[in-house]
Amino acid sequence: MAVAAVLVATGLTVALPAEAQSRRAPAASASVAASSGAPARYSVVRDVNFAQTMPSASGTLVLFVSGEDDLAARGLDAATVDAIKTGLTGARYTYGARKNISLYGVAGWDRIYVQGLSANATGADMQTAGTIAGRALMSDPATLTVAAKGQSNDTVSEIVTGLGIGQYRVDFYNTTTSRPVTGAVTVITDSVEAQSHYRGRGAAIVEAMNWTRNISNEPANVVYPDVFAARTREAFAGIPGVTIEVLDGAAMERLGMGAILGVGRGSVRPPAIVAVRYRGVQTDAPVALVGKGITFDSGGISIKPSANMGNMKMDMSGAAGVVGAVLALAKAGAPVDVVAVAAVAENMPDGNAIRPGDVLTAMNGKTIEIGSTDAEGRLVLADAIAWADTTYNPSAIIDVATLTGSVGGALGPDYAGLFSRHDALAAQVVAAGKASGEQVWQLPMNPAYGSRISSPIADYRNGGEPGPGAGLGAEFIGEFVRPETPWAHIDMANMAYGGGNDVKPAGSAGWSVRLLERLVRDFQPVVKEKGTGGH
């Protein structure tokens, strides 16, 4: 196998790309120094402790309740319960999902924060409630006491996981923002197993979500393919069972990866494929998660409008998400075999860039006419998927990408688009979405789409024509997977980033980490046969 370096998660080093291939990137500006190390200004998650006895009233008391009766079940004394009821009644508070209120100076507490739950809340609903509370309290300097007696280990873990996710801040380059030093979280529960329950999974999800958001939110003059690879190595350093493989430009040339190399031709920063395998169990067929990693997408020669182009620093959200999902699984020591393959490149329009009408040859020998250089995501995925399929002989491939604007027109801000020829795998993805709260909606793969991506001069055309853009993108990507390999494509262009709300700040949502983590944990092997579903 031609690679730049094979790395084990200790003593990590990587060979630089061959000079003839690299056209090395210039130094970043002094105002924002490029570094593979995580800046100290990134969000810091509050320490989390567990106890079985309520402390004396001090700081902020946090309650998650679906109705008035829940107040007495949280381990509070009768006088405190009565005082809270009086305050909520006076404020005309109504319980329910996403409804919250703060009471100040009640029962000796500086603040009592009440977060509503629906009566039939799922685990995902509990985590969302925790996330909303984390957002509301992220600037509260006080120690947080979460009264959680009467709630199950699963519920407590989901709530505390949500609290950690909700504390994330995106303003890490704002030098005028004064952030308060926040106190720890103490969770009061009657279960002696609650702490190990959370440490065994939830804490790793919080860390992985933060990593995914951080690298996605970084500007493109700080994070580009080489830095993505370096930050990945740092994130996994010392974790047992992890190996990291990096393909540089020279290695990809030898493998014939003309599609991803074509995308990267217009940039002084060469592309890379970063593969992270975590073996919590030994198998011969890992689940392969493949992510689109365009660290900046100008559109290339088919240049994008200037409005909102800055968000294209987050066009690598698929790559960040698949690496983040494996980080969550590896940090938790999950008993799974999984590999994340990140196809990382920068799509720029210099004199060496590919043009509409050019023809590229992918790793599997198939030829691609360029209809639009702004349909670059499917090009980098074509080589990455073909390589993952032949290198790992995976039990399934799930690719994740901010691929098309059309998926948002179809599904709005509530679901990512799911495409698959293998109904049994698609059903597992849908189930994982519901369990994690990162939901998908399956869209059709019409056999007629094949003729829509054909080219008169090459095997395929990568885009540029009107029509069902998300479906045509999926059809194109599917041509680079062996027909018998169970495969699903998730187009999350409408979910990966956006404006702030009660669940997330502006910027990256870290979307797909929880979905993929759940999918891999629960994965059941699918029979390898030519897929016929999804129509």
- Average pLDDT score over residue span 43-52: 92
Whether 328 and 411 have beta carbons less than 8 Å apart is answered as: no
For 180-271, where are the alpha helices, taking DSSP H only? 194-197, 203-217, 225-236, 249-255, 258-264
Task: Please give, one letter per residue, the 3-state secondary structure of 289-350.
Answer: EEEEEEEEECCCCCCCCCCCHHHHHHCCHHHHHHHHHHHHHHHCCCCCEEEEEEEEEEECCC
Phi, psi dihedrals of residue 136, rounded to the nearest 5°: -65, -30
Give the per-residue pLDDT at 534. Answer: 58
Cβ of 53: how many Cβ atoms within 10 Å?
7
- Average pLDDT score over residue span 212-233: 97
Give the per-residue pLDDT at 6. Answer: 39
Identify the helix (H) or strand (E) that includes residue 274.
strand 272-279
Give the per-residue pLDDT at 532. Answer: 65
Task: State the amino acid at position 434 in one-letter form.
Answer: K
Whether 156 and 194 have beta carbons less than 8 Å apart is answered as: yes
Tell whether the model's pLDDT for residue 1 goes beyond 70: no
In the three-class reduction of DSSP (H, G, I as helix; E, B as strand; rest coil), residue 103 is classed as strand
Tell whether the model's pLDDT for residue 520 goes beyond 80: yes
Phi, psi dihedrals of residue 368, rounded to the nearest 5°: -130, 120
Least confident stretch, 165-169, 284-288, 513-517, 527-531: 527-531
- Spatial CA neighbour of 313 closest among 214, 457, 210: 214
First to last CA, the chain: 37
Q: How far apart are CA 95 and CA 161, in angstroms?
A: 22
Q: How far apart are CA 528 and CA 523, in angstroms?
A: 14
Strands (E), 421-519: 440-442, 460-461, 487-491, 497-498, 507-508
In the three-class reduction of DSSP (H, G, I as helix; E, B as strand; rest coil), residue 17 is classed as coil
Tell whether the model's pLDDT for residue 9 goes beyond 70: no
Q: Is the pTM of this model over 0.95?
A: no
Identify the helix (H) or strand (E) that includes residue 440.
strand 440-442
Burial of 128 by CB count in 10 Å (0-12 exposed, 13-18 middle, 19+ buried)? buried
- Average pLDDT score over residue span 102-109: 97
Q: Residue 181: pLDDT band by 50, 70, 90 thresholds?
A: confident
Give the per-residue pLDDT at 32. Answer: 37
Task: State the amino acid at position 273 in one-letter form.
Answer: I
Q: How far apart are CA 269 and CA 225, in angstroms?
A: 7
In the three-class reduction of DSSP (H, G, I as helix; E, B as strand; rest coil), residue 88 is classed as helix
Tell whether the model's pLDDT for residue 21 goes beyond 70: no
Bridge partners (DSSP) of residue 112 are 61, 103
In the structure, how many helices (H) and strands (E) does the chain have?
17, 20
Per-residue pLDDT of 232-283, as tens digits, reads 999 999 999 999 999 999 999 999 999 999 999 999 999 999 999 999 999 9
Q: How far apart are CA 161 and CA 166, in angstroms?
A: 9
Q: Residue 39: pLDDT band by 50, 70, 90 thresholds?
A: low
Tell whether the model's pLDDT for residue 145 goes beyond 70: yes
Bridge partners (DSSP) of residue 188 are 51, 147
Tell whether the model's pLDDT for residue 67 goes beyond 90: yes
Give the per-residue pLDDT at 178. Answer: 77
- Average pLDDT score over residue span 364-387: 98
Per-residue pLDDT of 393-403, as tens digits, reads 999 999 999 99
Phi, psi dihedrals of residue 114, rounded to the nearest 5°: -115, 120
The first and second tokens of residue 332, run together, are 């938790």
Considering the candidates 199, 304, 452, 482, report the single residue annotated as catalytic. Answer: 304
Considering the candidates 46, 213, 265, 378, report the single residue annotated as catalytic. Answer: 378
Q: Residue 42: pLDDT band by 50, 70, 90 thresholds?
A: confident
378 classed as catalytic: yes
Per-residue pLDDT of 294-319, as tens digits, reads 999 999 999 999 999 999 999 999 99
Give the per-residue pLDDT at 535. Answer: 47
Whether 395 and 287 have beta carbons less than 8 Å apart is answered as: yes
Q: How far apart are CA 147 and CA 63, in angstroms?
A: 6
Give the per-residue pLDDT at 465. Answer: 78
Tell whether the model's pLDDT for residue 31 goes beyond 70: no
Q: Residue 322: pLDDT band by 50, 70, 90 thresholds?
A: very high
Give the per-residue pLDDT at 190. Answer: 93
Q: How far apart are CA 103 and CA 109, in angstroms?
A: 9
Q: Residue 409: pLDDT band by 50, 70, 90 thresholds?
A: very high
Task: State the amino acid at position 190 in one-letter form.
Answer: D
Q: Residue 180: pLDDT band by 50, 70, 90 thresholds?
A: confident
The first and second tokens of residue 426, run together, are 């698609």
Stronger pLDDT, 7 or 67, i.e. the higher one: 67
434 classed as catalytic: no
Q: Residue 533: pLDDT band by 50, 70, 90 thresholds?
A: low
Whether 115 and 129 have beta carbons less than 8 Å apart is answered as: yes
In the three-class reduction of DSSP (H, G, I as helix; E, B as strand; rest coil), residue 107 is classed as coil
Q: Residue 464: pLDDT band by 50, 70, 90 thresholds?
A: confident
Tell whether the model's pLDDT for residue 139 goes beyond 90: yes
Identify the helix (H) or strand (E) that includes residue 408.
helix 406-411
Per-residue pLDDT of 468-511, as tens digits, reads 999 999 999 999 999 999 999 999 999 999 999 999 999 999 99
